[in-house]
Amino acid sequence: MLEITAVRKNYKIGNDIVKAVNNAGFKVEKGDSIMIFGHSGSGKTTLLSIIGGLTRPDSGTVKYGDTDLWSLSDNELSEFRNRRINFIFQFSSLIPTLTVLENILLPTAFNKSGDRNRNFDAKDLLTMVGLKDKFNAYPSQLSGGQQRRAAIARSFINNPEIILADEPTGDLDEETEAEMLALCKSMNVDKGITFIIVTHNTDIAKQCNKHFVMNRGILTPKAMG
Amino acid sequence: MSFNLSALAYKNIRRKFFRSMAIAAAVMVVAATLFSVTTVMDSVETSLARGTKRLGADVMVVPAASESKAMASLLAGEPSTYYMDRGIEEKIRKIEGVKKVAGQLYLKTATYKCCSTGDMFIVGFEPDNDFTITPWLSESLKKPIAPREAILGRSIPAYTTGSSFQVFGKVITIIGLLEATGMQFIDNALYMPIDSFKGMVETSDNGTFNIFDRINNEISAILVQTDPEYAPRRVAIFIESRIEGVKAIVSEDVTASVRKQLFTLLKSILSITVILWIMSVLLISVVFSMIVNERQRELGLLRALGAKKRDIFKLIIAEAAVLSMAGGLIGVSLGGLFLYLFRGQVKAALNVPYMWPQPLNLVLLVLICLCASLLTGTLAALYPALKSMRMEPYAAIRGGE
């Protein structure tokens, strides 16, 4: 379903050129759960943002089926993200002026195509992540872990084909982390949602079927023992 | 269940309430000033146009020595009396380009309780020749005006049709009211036929009026309506060249002179308003740049979730538009309230004909000021909105770190 080929992305810092992503490539099948390890600054997040259509690579292709992501116009790219991809960011990604329920519904604001029926029910999702009594709470009234759970719930709202997660369980305690991983696993298995996860967490690694390591922009497959 | 961007714009406005209010206040000041100045300009313009039309004459002939007095009467409404030989009326009637002629006799009453209700400017007119007074009655007269009957200007309070009061010790009944013009000379006068007016003075119990002997064969002003084929200015030159000792004042020149003087002042104020407007646009632009910088990560997040560039643009412009409209509405209301509450002071300060604009003009002015307000905010937010919509989503998200 997804093929990343020879993707490169350089940044210029002063007079130096930093190779954030250097000739990365791999294939993803529907229902895969892929994990990318790597130190801070190794280029994992940049690669994830290229796959998610957030930053343009210097070269290489990202193909979803027959669609070359980076050949799309900006509007088409926005629509593509809205319908087929979703994100879990490593920062608190809730809009502070919106309630938890409104934050979950945010992607629906950009879907004007009328295929909203495929969306999940926002209240059901919040109930699934244990925030049933927080529909009308504002992010400032939630703990860091609760905010992360709300962000995970939002990533499912548009029933995406693929979720790109950057340290998705970073702020969660062990118990909640296990619950969230179980939820992601069930979405992966039952709904066929593909996950590409950037993390240091070995518990997540155990639940993924493909593993990669990223080091100084170079992506290599990693066998899990 | 879904969500729309308008709700986000609304909530963003509420997020930093005082900052939002400051933006609205900046627009409000501009809108209030702009509305006040343009309304006053329109009022004066309307009033001058109406007053000139209302004067009914293209040319007003007065004694040459009394030109400044006549101008003061026309512009500031200062009651003035001056006289010239009544025979001039017939001479003017024969001049080329003159279509109609109507003489008027001006008199001031004394403020003595014994014989007059108050200080009043009285205009004696010739009902048979008149083309300047009776056409402007708010209701037509049902019968010819009789002795001891009068028509009253609109600005004299407390009297209506049918009421009566004393002039030169005689009871006068008001049989008609003139439409308001804003020109105090017209609005503040009492109008009576010259014959009955003279008769009253002659039979007055108070024999001390020193004008008694003068007014029988004298007249104050002669109002001239010119033939449409002749320019009033040309006819005025004919009159002055053929009759000695008179000044032919062209109505258009009077209003043009006032317009020039006043509009120079108002244009200066308008220039200050424009400077104020430019400063507001710059100020709001800086504030919106700050807002956009603060929300950089949020805007990147919205893009990641599927917002198009135009959604980001619309979101920022919508916030600016709502705040500008709110500021504009409050500003126009405050401007209108100021003009209403201080209408007396405005009139006195300008010392020119002044009346409220016509309702249609007023609506138009409100709309223009609201559009200008809307433009203030949207123009100010344009650059920050364009900048943020062009930002790459990942760069925006990273920029907020």
Answer yes or no: is pLDDT of B212 > 70.
no
Residues 6+ apart with CB under 8 A from A94: A100, A103, A139, A142, A147, A150, A151
Give SS3 for A62. strand
CA distance B365 to B282: 24
Total CB pairs under 8 A between chain A and B: 89
Please choose, from the candidates B145, B140, B154, B111, the residue with its C-alpha nearest in 3D space to the C-alpha of residue B125.
B145
Answer yes or no: is pLDDT of B135 > 50.
yes
CA distance B364 to B350: 23
Shortest distance between the Cα of B335 and any Cα of chain A, in A, equals: 34
Name the pLDDT band for B113 (thresholds 50, 70, 90): very low
Structural domain tally of chain A? 1
Q: What is the mean pLDDT of residues A101-112?
A: 89
Closest Cβ–Cβ partner in B311, B392, B395 for A110 = B311
Residues 6+ apart with CB under 8 A from A26: A4, A34, A210, A212, A219, A221
Domain CATH number, residue A95? 3.40.50.300
What is the per-residue pLDDT across A162-218, written as a single tens digit (0 to 9) for each? Answer: 999 998 887 778 888 888 888 888 889 888 899 999 987 777 888 888 999 999 999
Name the pLDDT band for B115 (thresholds 50, 70, 90): very low
Residues in B closer than 8 angstroms to A96, CB to CB, are 15
ipTM: 0.93
Lowest mean pLDDT among A63-72, B52-61, B92-101, B169-178: B52-61
Is B158 at the interface with chain A, CB within 8 A? no
Is A199 at the interface with chain B, CB within 8 A? no
pLDDT at A138: 94
Lowest mean pLDDT among A95-99, B253-257, B319-323, B325-329: B253-257
Radius of gyration of chain A (CA): 17
Answer yes or no: is pLDDT of B275 > 80.
yes
CA distance B136 to B179: 6
pLDDT at B208: 43
CA distance B299 to B308: 11
pLDDT at B203: 58
Most confident of A207-211, B119-123, B137-141: A207-211
Name the pLDDT band for B305 (thresholds 50, 70, 90): very high
Name the pLDDT band for B182 (thresholds 50, 70, 90): low
pLDDT at B314: 93
Residues 6+ apart with CB under 8 A from B247: B61, B62, B63, B64, B66, B67, B70, B240
Q: What is the mean pLDDT of residues A14-42?
A: 91
Q: What mean pLDDT, rounded, does chain B reach? A: 83
Domain membership of residue A78 as a residue range: 2-221
Name the pLDDT band for B173 (thresholds 50, 70, 90): confident
pLDDT at B112: 47
- Chain B residue closest in CA terms to A75: B308
Most confident of A41-55, B68-82, B253-267, B385-399: A41-55
